[in-house]
Amino acid sequence: MVTQAIAGSARAAIAFIVSTLLIYSVIIGSIIYQGIGDQHERAGAAATAAAKAVTINTGWIVEVATQALRRMDHALGNEVQPNVNATLSSLRDALEGLPSSAKAYIVAADGETLYTTDSNFVEIDIRDREYFAEPAAGKPFYTSSLLISRLDGSEIFTFSRRLERKGVFIGVAIISFNADLLGDLLESLDLGAGSTIAVLRSDGMLVARYPPADTSLDLSGHRLFTELLPASDHGVYTARSPLDGVQRMVSYQTVPGTELIALASISTAETMWRFWRRVWIFLLIVIPTTFALALCAIWIIRLLQKDDRRKQELETALTTNTMLFREIHHRVKNNMQSMQSLVRMQDLPAGIKTDMQLRFAAMSAVHEHMYSRDAYAALEAPAFIASITKTLSQAYGSSARLILDIDPLSVSHERATPLALLVTEVVTNAFKYADLDRSDSTITISLKGLSDDMSRLLIADNGPGFDPETVSKKMGAKIIKAMVVQLDGSYHYEFDNGTVFSAEINIGFVPVV
């Protein structure tokens, strides 16, 4: 039962440790899983904020470009003439507040460039360009898609205005912007590597993008235009870019009052890299801690297993020693009985023979009490003294009534034999000298604890008493004196309506619980 309890405790401890580690791992896994969702939400929120910034910036560009084109139209006056310095000065004033890369052109209906702020301008025919052709066809204001400049090969986009005088088309006012102007805005947004911002027209054509797109792009068949924009003028979606194949989280918003859509996108790989970088920093702390906990758990489990084995070994050794002690005391008891038999066979006076047999019986009772009750460290005083006095009463065939008043004390095994011989000798004297054949004859035996060290033994009879001087010369008195000395005590006799033996002795007193 003890082994099963120990093994059960070890198994319970192992189960608890393993469960704790599993729960710890599940918690960490849940935190990481929740963190992935939170990271996507944060990326979406960052993309949305960036799209709002692009929307504001694009709206501002459209507004200032519109105002500048209106001022350019006004600066021409009613009589349109080329190479007028005042008109050129007014054109430069019209560009005030626009990015430095902005360039202004006024192109006549026949394709001749009348005015420009481009210092590197070379005369070319632009009448085939959409930003000229569309206003020439009657559109008052036009925003171009992404273009490659014929002058310097850079990526540009333009805003153009139809010019009329008295209802007659006379030319087009044009402002061009370098697509790189989105670069400063993207840098200020700090969206991370792989992120982009862009402006699209409502027909799906790319107007501007940073990083540069290197080519114009028609997204009219993309789900942004077929599904998302018809449902809402703003939102967030995840898609793989048709330009570079990078998967991004994209936020889009229409620019109020225009036919433009602002986009901001964050690379999902960059987003997750930032997340996993934080996770690895977290794990660099958690993993050693978990590893240390695991090592501690293994160490504790091994200690428990070692302790379990040790306790099992001790239990086995205890069982073996118990059997050996029982066998030893049994053999000693048998040897005492053999000696009793030998005494009985000797040709000795009956009194001497009885005394010797009773002394052997007292010592035999000690060993019998030990092995029959497995009480090797201590004996229970009430049962122990009762067994001795019962043997004495039977041996003398006395009718005297034995009265026992024994406290629930324990007698240490090394003091059991001296106590047994002491009780045997005193009670034997009572049977011999107290004339106990009367009907009212009594022998009272009392053992009371005085302290943790000492107890008081009283043995009284109601006989006529005896002469201590005479008795003290006999063997029994010498045994009594020797046993009291072995019990670290003292004794004396009193004669009050009988004989009272009183001794204070050390029996290794321990209260019996």
Q: Say how far apart CA 182 and CA 238 lie, in whole Å.
A: 22
Q: Is the dihedral of CA 360, 362, 366, 368 positive or negative?
A: positive
> Of 387, 380, 388, which is closest to residue 425 (Cα–Cα)?
388
- Please report the pLDDT score of residue 236 as a whole number: 93
Tell me the mean pLDDT in the region 304-318: 78
Tell me the mean pLDDT in the region 51-68: 91
Q: Say how far apart CA 341 and CA 109 lie, in whole Å.
A: 152
Q: Which residues contact 437 (CB under 8 A, 6 or more apart)?
A: 398, 399, 400
Higher pLDDT, 236 or 149: 236
- Please report the pLDDT score of residue 410 as a whole number: 85
Domain ranges of the chain: 1-321, 346-511
- Please report the pLDDT score of residue 181 as a whole number: 86
Burial 142-153 (b: 16+ CB within 10 A, else e): bbbbbbeeeeee
CA 506 to chain centre: 57
Tell me the mean pLDDT in the region 344-351: 64
Q: Say how far apart CA 107 and CA 95 lie, in whole Å.
A: 17
CATH of segment(s) 1-321: 3.30.450.20
Tell me the mean pLDDT in the region 58-80: 86
Mean pLDDT, the chain, integer: 79
pLDDT in tens, 9-47: 556 666 766 777 677 677 667 766 565 666 677 888 888
- Give the pLDDT band of residue 2 (cuts 50, 70, 90): very low
CA 253 to chain centre: 45
Burial class (CB in 10 A: 0-12, 13-18, 19+), 406: middle
Q: Angle at CA 65, nearest 5°, toward 62 and 66? A: 85
Q: Look at domain 346-511 and name its CATH class.
A: alpha beta
What single string gives the DSSP state of each residue in 145-208?
--EE-TTT--EEEEEEEEEEETTEEEEEEEEEEETTHHHHHHHHHT--TT-EEEEEETTSBEEE
pLDDT in tens, 199-247: 999 999 999 999 888 777 889 989 999 999 999 999 999 888 888 888 8
Q: Say how far apart CA 479 and CA 464 lie, in whole Å.
A: 23
Lookup: tokens for 63 = 């507004």
Of 77-91, 327-341, 347-361, 371-385, minimum mean pLDDT range: 327-341
Q: Say how far apart CA 306 and CA 311 lie, in whole Å.
A: 8
Lookup: tokens for 96 = 């005030």
C-alpha torsion angle, residues 306, 308, 313, 315 (rounded to 10): 160
Expressed in percent and rounded to 5, the helix, strand and coil fractions of the chain are 50, 25, 25
Higher pLDDT, 147 or 285: 147
